[in-house]
Amino acid sequence: MVKAILMGAWSGAVLFSLAVGADVGPLLAVGGLAVLVELLTGGRLLDRKFTILSGNSDSGRAKALSFADIGGQQVAVRELVEALEFIKNERSAVRMGIRPLRGILLAGPPGTGKTLLARAAASYTQAVFLSASGSDFIEMYAGVGAKRVRDLFASARAAAASQGSRTAVIFIDEIDVLGAVRGRHASHMEYDQTLNQLLAEMDGLSAVRDDVRVLVIAATNRVDLLDPALLRPGRFDRIVSVDLPDAQGRLEILRIHTARKPLANDVDLAKVAREAYGFSGAHLESLANEAAILALRAGRNIITSEDFSEAMEKVIMGERIQRKPDDEQLMRVAVHELGHAVVSEVLEPGSVASVTVAGRGKALGYVRHSPRSDLSLETRGQIERRICVLVAGVVSERLILGEGSTGASQDISQALDAARLIVKCGLSDAGIVSEDDMPKERYHEIIAGLVKAGQERAASIISARRDQIVRMAEFLCREERMDGESFRAELCQAA
């Protein structure tokens, strides 16, 4: 429609110019340029074709993905399957008086599998499945966004009718681009108009035909940006959390991504899953892929546990730094990292996975931990132990090398944040009190006391193991890396 209006206006301008005897050269040049752009963009300058992922189309079969191919998201899968069952078994839903869901919002951090869940939903249901991205609706021309929303829903209904289906499913990725709170954008009228059209379509007010029902599945990692009108019941009836996987979920994901990879007998995927705390599904896929690349680079036909350890450090910290520090700085880095490792191991045996002084990213060294479990809550004692481990690096430098360094700045910042958390959660000796209501001197006194207690505790642990730290630091300066088993063996042997 927009294209037709523009063509009509251009034709009228040309005819008027000819009638009054004006030069039509500029108008013809503009028209020729428009035709050229239209040809180069394949006719998609203002129109947008949306992808049909399933139904009876060949493209749907080529992209088939089942829920069994997705690990670590059992709750999200269960919620999504239940909603899709209303589509597959519509008669049962009608008999029970169930109002069909109109929208499902998949919310969670990046890389957790929201798009994969949508693709699996496409193969699970026999409904026509169309996909789009939030950015597909935003354009420089006024009114284009609302038009594309109408086209998307019209395409879904038409495709469903042509394939004999009574239901269509639309997936909108990154919906926060389209559905942000109205009035926030500088050009908010265009954004608001586009969102208003989406709300109307989800309510079914703009539907030309009532024989096709449309279910909208959307994904976002910023629910806080979405307009409240979009989140109310009757539009997005369910918000499904697609969170970071726990240890068991990480193990399931690793098994999926290593199913076709040759693993050595020394590879313990359960151990890798425990050490990959905080990894998303995308991180775990990258971890398995990087491990395979390292094995191939080394000329081996199987992937070893060493490949997984190296790959994990690469995924966490980035590529190795080519520039190597001098011997004095290397010893300081080794002493610093061993301070963290020794205190962590003493306070929580088995917590150290590896210690390295091979610089990666912005870090000159790194201690990789292997937590026993995924903690969602912390006690005061656990936070105090975390503070002790954080300050152990600079304490180790002072006790063994005579003075600290600027390499501990981030550790100190994190230790102070942890101490503030104790006060904020009412776990300090001051009890439950607001930071704003507490005298600043008293507040800083409590924070400093918590950090100082951690330093004293770390100093006691490190002083008792000074010789072991020096010996292991010399080993790290030569070999660059020490795995957790070797570290514990050296620590216990010399104790």
Vertex 282, ends 337 and 311: CA angle to 5°? 40
Q: In what order do the strands lie in the sheet with 352-356?
A: 366-369, 352-356, 481-483
Non-local CB neighbours of 2 within 8 Å, separated by 6+ positions: 46, 141, 143, 144, 147
Distance CA 340, CA 390 (A): 7
Task: Show the tokens assigned to 424.
Answer: 């904020």
Distance CA 201, CA 186 (A): 25
Helix spans in 163-246 (H): 176-179, 188-203, 228-231
Buried b (16+ CB within 10 A) or exposed e, 257-278: bbeeeebeeebebeebbbbbbe
218 within 8 A of 172, measured Cβ to Cβ: yes
Cβ 458 vs Cβ 392: under 8 Å? yes
Q: Which of 139, 252, 313, 337 is catalytic?
A: 337
User: What does the DSSP 8-state code read for residue 97?
Assistant: T
Q: What's the one-letter identity of residue 246?
A: D
Cα torsion 246, 247, 252, 255: sign: positive
Is 435 one of the catalytic residues? no
Structure-block tokens of residue 78: 């269960």
Do residues 190 and 146 touch, judged by C-beta distance below 8 A? no
Structure tokens, 132: 């789009």
CB 383 within 8 A of CB 427: yes
Beta strand 103-107 pairing with 238-241: parallel
From CA 307, how far away is CA 298, in angstroms rounded?
10
**Structure-block tokens of residue 39:** 């040809």
Query: Which positions are annotated as active-site residues?
Result: 337
